[in-house]
């Protein structure tokens, strides 16, 4: 299965256009990112739901800090009425940098995500929820409307503990990784979490959520991914950078340049090693080879993440005509 991520930076009609195109071209899911500086993901999802008929649509991912889980579940449940059985909820710990801009302290991420999933699942199943947790205290909540009962909850994860948690409680896990070594390591933690919960891989959808850029010209594809990779490297933990032999001083330089909004200089500091570690970028043949390696590890879904390519419309067509058919066969 192939999913695709859209960032609601552009007007809703452009996202709808790309979404209709993705549905026609054989993608199985659309994921809409949730960052306060962009358009509201649920409004964006509603417009997509109206103009599509079969593709699944999810928020990928929201966090437990900016909205009470009851409000998140309310939005997802309302969307399910527009597109029954096609709506998905992705929950993760959130981006510390963006949350920090709002003065939000993302404390106890494992607990916050776990409680958010449990509260949302109860409400979306039609239950009356009373929940006393370490983060959330819900006295009594029940929706006055019914959902399809088919809403899957995915947990966005990268670190070992969150990966294990996702495997224990999620209907799916969105693994934030691009390199086969990282995916292989992530799956070990997923398997550990599944064992702890008495589950198997058949009980969960394992999706890779990766920065992706495709074009006929390799250089054009790589150029498009430079901004995304710059931010990934700047926010990556030291152990992950060391794992890929990326000098910590280079990452530190990137952080300083991005903090100063020195975009051009920052993007020029992105190295081939960074691109190889944190994205899949290249011509169709190169991208196909890298995606194949990930599916062979046991992944169920590949989510094509930002930037997709220098020209999103052309890139969707390229993926549909030169990548997806290889897996259909």
State CA 125 to chain mean position distance.
24
Domain ranges of the chain: 2-219+279-328
Residue 80, pLDDT > 70, answer yes
What b-and-e string marks burial along 214-226, b requiring 16 or more CB atoms within 10 Å of the CB? bbeebebbbbbbb
Residue 57 burial (CB < 10 Å; 0-12/13-18/19+)? buried
Query: Looking at residues 69-74, what average pLDDT do you find?
Result: 98
Q: Helix crossing, 41-51 with 12-24: angle to 10°?
A: 50
Query: Looking at residues 7-20, what average pLDDT do you find?
Result: 96
Q: Is the peptide bond before 307 cis (omega within 30 degrees of 0)?
A: yes
Q: Is the peptide bond before 61 cis (omega within 30 degrees of 0)?
A: yes
Q: What is the pLDDT of residues 116-167, one digit of tens each?
A: 999 999 999 999 999 999 999 999 999 999 999 999 999 999 899 999 999 9
- What does the pLDDT read at residue 255? 87
Q: How far apart are CA 142 and CA 128, in angstroms?
A: 5
Q: How far apart are CA 329 and CA 317, in angstroms?
A: 18
Q: How far apart are CA 46 and CA 224, in angstroms?
A: 28
Q: What is the pLDDT of residues 263-309, one digit of tens each?
A: 899 999 999 999 999 999 999 999 999 999 999 999 999 999 999 99
Question: Which of 29, 33, 24 minimizes the C-alpha distance to 87?
Answer: 29
214 confidence band (pLDDT: 50, 70, 90) = very high
- Overall fold of domain 2-219+279-328: TIM Barrel (3.20.20)
- What does the pLDDT read at residue 105? 87
3-class secondary structure, 169: helix
98 confidence band (pLDDT: 50, 70, 90) = confident
Q: What is the pLDDT of residues 311-326, one digit of tens each?
A: 999 999 999 999 999 9
Residue 329, pLDDT > 70, answer no
- What does the pLDDT read at residue 5? 97
């Amino acid at each position: 299965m192939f999913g695709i991520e859209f960032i609601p930076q552009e007007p809703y009609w452009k996202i709808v256009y790309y979404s209709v195109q993705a549905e026609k071209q054989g993608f199985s899911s659309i994921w809409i990112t949730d960052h306060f500086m962009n358009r509201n993901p649920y409004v964006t999802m509603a417009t997509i739901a109206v103009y599509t008929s079969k593709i699944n649509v999810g928020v990928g991912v929201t966090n437990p800090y900016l909205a009470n889980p009851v409000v998140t579940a309310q939005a997802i449940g309302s969307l399910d009425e527009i597109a029954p059985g096609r709506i998905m909820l992705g929950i993760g710990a959130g981006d510390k940098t963006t949350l920090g801009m709002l003065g939000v302290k993302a404390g106890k991420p494992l607990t916050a995500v776990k409680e958010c999933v449990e509260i949302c699942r109860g409400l979306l199943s039609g239950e009356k929820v009373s929940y006393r947790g370490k983060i959330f205290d819900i006295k009594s909540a029940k929706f006055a409307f019914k959902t399809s009962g088919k809403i899957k909850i995915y947990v966005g994860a990268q670190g070992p503990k969150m990966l294990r948690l996702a495997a224990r409680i999620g209907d799916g896990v969105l693994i934030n990784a691009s390199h086969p070594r990282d995916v292989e390591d992530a799956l070990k933690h997923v398997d550990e979490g599944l064992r702890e919960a008495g589950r198997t891989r058949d009980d969960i959808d394992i999706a890779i959520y990766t920065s992706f850029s495709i074009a006929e010209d390799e250089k054009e594809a790589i150029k498009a991914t430079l901004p995304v990779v710059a931010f990934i490297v700047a926010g990556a933990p030291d152990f992950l950078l060391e794992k890929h032999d990326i000098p910590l001083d280079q990452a530190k330089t990137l952080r300083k340049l991005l903090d100063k909004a020195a975009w051009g200089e920052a993007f020029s500091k992105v190295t081939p090693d960074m691109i190889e570690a944190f994205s899949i970028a290249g011509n169709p043949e190169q991208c196909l080879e890298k995606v194949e390696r990930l599916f062979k590890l046991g992944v169920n879904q590949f989510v094509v993440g930002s930037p997709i390519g220098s020209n999103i419309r052309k890139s969707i067509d390229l993926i549909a005509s030169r990548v997806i058919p290889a897996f259909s066969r």
